[in-house]
Amino acid sequence: MTNAFTVAYSELTRVLPWSLRALGYPFPIADRGSHLTATAAAISPKILDEIAGMQHRPASGPLHEIAADGTLAIDAQGVSLLEVGPPAIDYLAAHAGDAPLGVARIAGASEASLIAAILLTGAEYGLSSIALLPSAKACAWYVASRGDDKMRLSAGTGTTTLLAALLDDIRQSPVLAEAAARQDALTIVARATPFQIDADAAETIDPAKAISTAHARGIPVSAQTLKAIYDLEVLTWMPSSERSRAQAGFTQPAGTAA
């Protein structure tokens, strides 16, 4: 990515709801997704390249299954993690006291790079969570938690002793067997108490500092990526669009008193 420009954090949250609406995502999801994307971009600006290249939302939508042990399995069927990730975190947070570990498996979701920002939404209300992203080369993972009124985010590849144990435990769930075999599946493990991760095995990220820097200095972005995001927004300007119809409802007819 050639960083010819910077874009304001607040500008992303203004434009992206409409850019995502142009791709077929319902407005509540697009609105929440704009804030998740801005947070993710503050941590890793390259995510904006993924957003600019997003495909239109598949018409079929995701499939959900809850096992007897409370495990949540989602087959996103190509829908963005912007849509299926937050409900998974909300579900895990709501059931954090039901079992020692809550587990959610998401298969077939696009824009998996948004996972760090999605985990942070759980950390905001006290949930500690690990996301495991398997690949042919290595297992990438993120850990998000909150302590001393401060959110913490760690990232790494491979498996520490803790993560290896969690993976072994998760693989015993028959509900997850099919999804676990897919390279496009990710697993989220959560609980109410923080996970202990070997500091030497992880990259530590200060989300609050990253977001503060993004507000103060903007987020690096290439001209091509920024144009693609604005081009999507322009699609919602059409006279027949939802946006135009909504704005027309608040337009004072000519020649009438205010």
What's the CATH code of the domain at 199? Answer: 3.30.1370
Instruction: Evaluate if residue 14 carries a pLDDT over 60.
Output: yes
Instruction: Evaluate if residue 59 carries a pLDDT over 70.
Output: yes
Q: How far apart are the first and last CA of the chain?
A: 49
Residues 156-214 have pLDDT tens digits of 887 677 777 776 766 666 555 555 556 668 889 898 888 877 666 677 889 999 999 99
Is 161 a member of any domain? yes
Which pTM was predicted?
0.83
Is 47 a member of any domain? yes
The closest alpha carbon to 130, from 95, 94, 92, belongs to 92
Is 237 a member of any domain? no
When comparing pLDDT for 111 and 158, which is higher?
Answer: 111
Measured at the alpha carbon of residue 147, what is the angle toward residues 144 and 149, in degrees to the nearest 5? 110
Average pLDDT (11-16) is: 94
Half-sphere exposure of 225 (CA within 13 A, CB side): 23
Long-range residue pairs from 161-167, CB within 8 A, at least 24 positions apart, any chain: 161/198, 162/195, 162/196, 162/197, 162/198, 163/130, 163/132, 163/139, 166/101, 166/130, 166/132, 167/132, 167/139
Q: 164, 214 in Cβ contact below 8 A?
A: no
Is 155 a member of any domain? yes
* pLDDT above 90: percentage of residues in the chain: 51
What does the pLDDT read at residue 140? 81
Q: How many domains does the chain have?
A: 1
Is 225 a member of any domain? no
Is 249 a member of any domain? no
* pLDDT above 70: percentage of residues in the chain: 79
Is 243 a member of any domain? no
* pLDDT band with cut points at 50, 70 and 90 for residue 241: low
Q: State the residue range of the domain holding 67.
A: 5-217
Is 224 a member of any domain? no
Q: 113, 147 in Cβ contact below 8 A?
A: no
